[in-house]
């Protein structure tokens, strides 16, 4: 079905386009990856989960891959009267998206991890623990999404370690997961916080998995996404296979910098025939 070009709008110096998402069989998708910092502003000064939900709804992604999502925190629930009763992924998805969650870090008062919100039905979800050090609990959340046409879109939400040595081993596990669990001709989205400040992820993924990075294709290099007030480091990525990129955007500065220390990244893509 032919799609008309969506209208463009401007906010906080960022050009973005919103794509209607009410057709489960559409071939155009709006993607978002965002490290939400457990629903608190930078340095944990303010609870911003309600503002975050409104911002996500404004972006209106078909698929959102989120990191540092708080599944449970008993202390926050006691201290904040407006702390959501449900886990953050359910609160954010409420009445808008299907949701899957994979807990990575567990502690006495709660846990947090990755989540995928999707307007496409989630056919299957599985979380893969890639923790290599107890102080950096990391994971890969793999979801198979029903595209409405009898084909699964594989989506993997990634949060990797701060050290290059650990990231290298975690990327090896990511490659092994894709090679084992994703058919080579299936559409694939891999996105998240790679903590790849030295820009080595591309060489470790593109050749082995046949993926490309959305911003690199559009602008020649990955997006600057951290810190969100004035991004310098290229930590967050969107890797794709079986898609063509139509548009990309980095959502930084006010009001985004009041929500998380990472900028939100979006990409509008279309399925290849």
pLDDT tens digits, one per residue of 155-175: 999 999 999 999 999 999 999
**Tokens for 219?**
């602008």
* The pLDDT of residue 73: 58
Provide mean pLDDT across the span 196-211: 90
Q: For residue 101, tell me if it sits in a domain.
A: yes
Provide mean pLDDT across the span 111-134: 92
- The average confidence (pLDDT) of the chain is 85
**CATH value at residue 51:** 3.60.10.10
**Backbone phi, psi, residue 74, to 5°:** -65, -35
Give Cα 147 distance to the centre of its chain: 18
pLDDT in tens, 244-258: 999 999 999 999 999
- What is the C-alpha to C-alpha distance for residues 55 and 46, in angstroms, rounded to an integer? 16
* The pLDDT of residue 16: 32
Measured in residues, the chain has a length of 273
* The pLDDT of residue 20: 34
For 43-52, 103-112, 120-129, 174-183, which range has the lowest pLDDT when averaged over its residues? Answer: 103-112
Residue 15: is its pLDDT beyond 50? no
Question: Any bridge partners for residue 237, and if so which?
Answer: 192
What range defines the domain where residue 121 resides? 29-271
Burial class (CB in 10 A: 0-12, 13-18, 19+), 142: buried
Could you identify the residue written with the tokens 């960022």? 14
- Between 10 and 144, where is the model more confident? 144
Q: For residue 189, tell me if it sits in a domain.
A: yes
Q: For residue 12, tell me if it sits in a domain.
A: no
pTM: predicted TM-score of the whole model, two decimal places:
0.87
- What is the C-alpha to C-alpha distance for residues 41 and 236, in angstroms, rounded to an integer? 18
pLDDT in tens, 53-89: 999 999 999 999 999 998 655 556 557 566 677 888 8
- What is the C-alpha to C-alpha distance for residues 219 and 116, in angstroms, rounded to an integer? 26
Beta strands in 57-96 (DSSP E): 63-73
pLDDT in tens, 19-62: 333 444 458 999 999 999 876 766 556 778 899 999 999 999 99
Could you identify the residue written with the tokens 């919103």? 18
Q: For residue 1, tell me if it sits in a domain.
A: no
| Start-end of H helices in 11-104 | 49-59, 74-79, 88-93
- What is the C-alpha to C-alpha distance for residues 106 and 112, in angstroms, rounded to an integer? 7
**Backbone phi, psi, residue 115, to 5°:** -145, 150
Q: How confident is the model at residue 154 (pLDDT cuts 50, 70, 90)?
A: very high
**Helix orientation angle between 201-209 and 164-181, rounded to the nearest 10 degrees:** 10
Q: For residue 14, tell me if it sits in a domain.
A: no
* The pLDDT of residue 52: 92
**Backbone phi, psi, residue 17, to 5°:** -130, 135
Q: For residue 46, tell me if it sits in a domain.
A: yes
Q: Number of structural domains, the chain?
A: 1
* The pLDDT of residue 71: 63
Q: For residue 183, tell me if it sits in a domain.
A: yes
* The pLDDT of residue 9: 32
Q: For residue 237, tell me if it sits in a domain.
A: yes
Percent of the chain exceeding pLDDT 90 equals 65
């Amino acid at each position: 079905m032919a799609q008309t070009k969506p209208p463009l709008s401007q906010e906080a110096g960022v050009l973005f386009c919103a794509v209607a998402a009410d057709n489960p069989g559409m071939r155009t998708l709006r993607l978002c990856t965002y490290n939400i910092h457990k629903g608190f502003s930078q340095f944990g000064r303010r609870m911003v989960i309600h503002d975050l939900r409104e911002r996500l709804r404004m972006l209106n992604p078909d698929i959102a891959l989120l990191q540092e999502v708080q599944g449970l925190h008993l202390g926050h629930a006691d201290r904040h009267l407006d702390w959501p009763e449900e886990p953050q992924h359910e609160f954010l998805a409420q009445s808008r998206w299907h949701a899957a969650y994979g807990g990575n870090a567990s502690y006495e008062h709660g846990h947090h991890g990755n989540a995928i919100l999707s307007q496409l039905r989630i056919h299957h979800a599985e979380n893969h623990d890639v923790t290599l050090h107890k102080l950096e609990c990391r994971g890969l959340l793999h979801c198979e999404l029903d595209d409405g046409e009898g084909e699964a879109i594989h989506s993997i939400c990634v949060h990797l370690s701060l050290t290059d040595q650990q990231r290298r081993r975690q990327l090896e596990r990511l490659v092994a997961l894709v090679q084992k669990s994703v058919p080579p001709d299936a559409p694939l989205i891999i996105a998240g916080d790679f903590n790849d400040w030295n820009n080595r992820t591309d060489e470790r993924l593109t050749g082995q998995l046949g993926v490309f990075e959305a911003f690199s294709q559009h602008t020649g290099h990955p997006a600057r996404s951290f810190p969100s007030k004035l991004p310098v480091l290229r930590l967050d990525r969107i890797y794709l296979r079986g898609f063509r990129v139509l548009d990309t955007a980095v959502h930084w500065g006010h009001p985004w910098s009041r929500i998380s220390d990472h900028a939100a990244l979006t990409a509008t893509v279309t399925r290849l025939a």
